[in-house]
Amino acid sequence: MLKAIIFDVDGTIAETERDGHRVAFNRAFTEAELDWHWSREFYGRLLPVAGGKERIRFYIKYFCKEFQAPDRFNEFIAALHRNKTQHYQDILRKGELPLRSGVKRLIDEVRDRGLRLAIATTSSHSTTMDLLKSTLDPVWFEVIAAGDIVTRKKPASDIYLYVLDKLHLAPSECIVFEDSEAGLQAAVGANLKTIITANNYTKSQNFSKAILIVNGLGEPDRPFLSLRGSVGDRKYVDVPLLESLCGS
């Protein structure tokens, strides 16, 4: 029986990457007097690496071979990421990153029906809270698992195992929403049934282990498109659909 819905944040609840995290990384690079710039297109090549600090390290290793790493490399990365986080918070405060279609509608329905809600994200806890405060309400989510709360980030399953432990639920009692292959791998590795709400950065990734792939959650006047999986004549993802997928 379905008891809880677990949401990823970046790319799933809101389109945060292209005009949020990416812009914040670039501002931090400029302020650190680094001549790095992540274009919209290039950022798609970095996104499979989950976690901001991990993404910067990956970029340095594979794209900045000439870069002279400072002695205190970990501190350098941490400071750069702290500044990026501040810029990202500024963007969130300006309300520039709205929710994806159908997210608020579905969350309202989930709450009305007494189902439980949780968050499992790689993004840092502070920015996750800021996003939830400016769009939904953090108190609606019983567990908010974010950032460095686990050492091994997605695609490792640690964050989902952590959420299941805190909810005291079995994987069969939950459904996950994710937007990326790394997120799907993390959830499926914890035996969780996962629906993919694909976006422009992730739409050609491998989602073969998802129970349903859609282009969004849809609204009554803006129907979703099922990219794989049967949804009957539904126009949007609703709780009866989730219950039928959970039982299947």
Q: Which does 121 bind (CB under 5 to 8 A by kind): ligand XBP, Mg ion, none?
A: ligand XBP
Q: Which does 123 bind (CB under 5 to 8 A by kind): Mg ion, ligand XBP, none?
A: ligand XBP
CB-CB neighbours of 98 under 10 Å: 12
Q: Which of 142, 116, 146 is nearest to 131 (CA)?
A: 146
Among 15, 130, 158, 179, binds Mg ion (CB under 5 A): 179
Among 13, 51, 77, 117, binds ligand XBP (CB under 6 A): 51
Structure tokens at 247: 């039982």
- Of 8 and 130, nearer to Mg ion (C-beta) is 8
Q: Is 202 in the site for ligand XBP (CB under 6 A)?
A: no
Binding span for ligand XBP by CB under 6 A among 6-14, 108-116, 188-196, 215-223:
6-14
Q: Is 124 in the site for ligand XBP (CB under 6 A)?
A: yes
Q: Is 122 in the site for ligand XBP (CB under 6 A)?
A: yes
Q: Is 155 in the site for ligand XBP (CB under 6 A)?
A: no
Number of chain residues interacting with ligand XBP (CB under 6 A):
18
Among 52, 102, 216, 218, binds ligand XBP (CB under 6 A): 52
Helix (H), strand (E) at residue 110: helix 103-112
Phi first, then psi, for residue 57 (nearest 5°) are -60, -45
- Listed in order, strand segments (DSSP E) in 113-163 are 116-120, 143-145
CA distances for 2 relative to 117, 157, 242, angstroms: 11, 20, 8
> Distance between CA 97 and CA 202 in Å, rounded?
18
Q: Which of 37, 45, 39, 47 is nearest to 11 (CA)?
A: 47
> Distance between CA 191 and CA 137 in Å, rounded?
28
Q: Which residues bind ligand XBP (CB under 6 A)?
A: 8-11, 17, 21, 50-52, 121-124, 127, 154, 180, 182-183
Residues acting as catalytic residues: 8, 10
